[in-house]
Structure 1
Amino acid sequence: MRVSLKTLTFNKILTKAPIVSLDGQPVLLFNQQHPSLLVALEHKQVKVFSECRNGYCGACKTKINSGSVKYHTLPLIELESDECLPCCCTPTSDLDLNLSPEGADVVTRPGITTAVFALEQTKS
């Protein structure tokens, strides 16, 4: 069997799953396992106040430091360009949110965490 490059085609464009960070600290790789950003954050034990499931819209409003999101349900409240409602959106690019990583199940790599901690200590 002969195969030429002309016969090889790719129908889907592969895209990188967005990395979601909290104040610059990577927390999760958003790979569409979760229906919304809020569910993904809750899965990683990120403290996000929300009343979405109790019928109050707007409580989970979060400031975006960088990145972008898309909404699968239109928000019921008005948002600034640097805000999102994690309950009804998913990231479309790497996303850095103005949320504390404290207590969250953050992504760490051996050596990197220690080096960053040491660097922060020398800056203080």
Structure 2
Amino acid sequence: MSKVTVVNTDQSLEFDSDQPNLLTFLEKNKIQTQFHCREGFCGACRCKLVSGKVDYQQEPLAFVRKGEILLCCATPLEDIEIDIPKF
């Protein structure tokens, strides 16, 4: 199990391997994020990956810069720290 730490919160959670992606996992744990398409097209769920590595079940079509991830199609490969934009 990987630990997911959200910057600027007191949240440090164990990622459930039965969750399909980080977006679903965060929603389950009542952590608000921006999202729209849920399929890697729009990039609305983009956030900063502060540390760690993720894997994509499907390669996102939205542009993703180095150091960013799309929550809707990523799962952690190890302990990660993410910075979710405020909205």
Q: TM-score, normalised by structure 2?
A: 0.84
Alpha-carbon spacing, 1:42–1:65, altered in 2? closer, same or farther (3 Å): same
Higher strand share: 2
Q: Which runs of 5+ in 2 are unaligned?
A: none
Question: What's the CA shift for 1:57?
Answer: 1.6
Residue type matched to 2:3 in 1? I
Q: Which has the higher contact order (CA 8 A, sep 6+)?
A: 2
Alpha-carbon distance in 2 for matches of 1:90, 1:53: 14
**How far off its partner does 1:47 sit?**
1.0
Q: Is the 8 A contact 2:2 2:79 kept in 1?
A: yes
**1:50 Cα offset (Å):** 0.1
The 8 Å contact of residues 19 and 26 in structure 1, kept in 2 or not, is answered as: no
Q: Percent identity, aligned pairs only?
A: 35
Q: CA deviation at 1:56?
A: 5.3
Give the conservation status (yes or no) of the 8 Å contact 2:6–2:84: yes
Match of 1:92 in 2: 77
Equivalent residue runs for 1:24-43 within 5 Å? 25-43=10-28
Answer whether contact 2:40 2:62 (CA < 8 A) is retained.
no
RMSD of aligned Cα (Å): 2.1
The equivalent residue for 1:83 is: 68
Shift of 1:85: 0.4
TM-score normalised by length of structure 1: 0.61
Number of residue pairs matched? Answer: 84
Distance 1:77 1:55 in 2: 6
The worse-fitting range, judged by mean Cα deviation, of 47-56 and 78-87 is: 47-56
CA distance in 1, matches of 2:53, 2:60: 15
Q: Secondary structure at 2:50's aligned position in 1?
A: strand
Q: Which one of the candidate residues 9, 20, 40 is aligned to 2:4?
A: 20
* Whole-Å separation in 2 of the counterparts to 1:49 and 1:31: 21
Specify every segment of 5 or more residues in structure 1 that has no aligned partner in the other structure, as ranges.
Answer: 1-16, 101-124
Bigger share in helix: 1
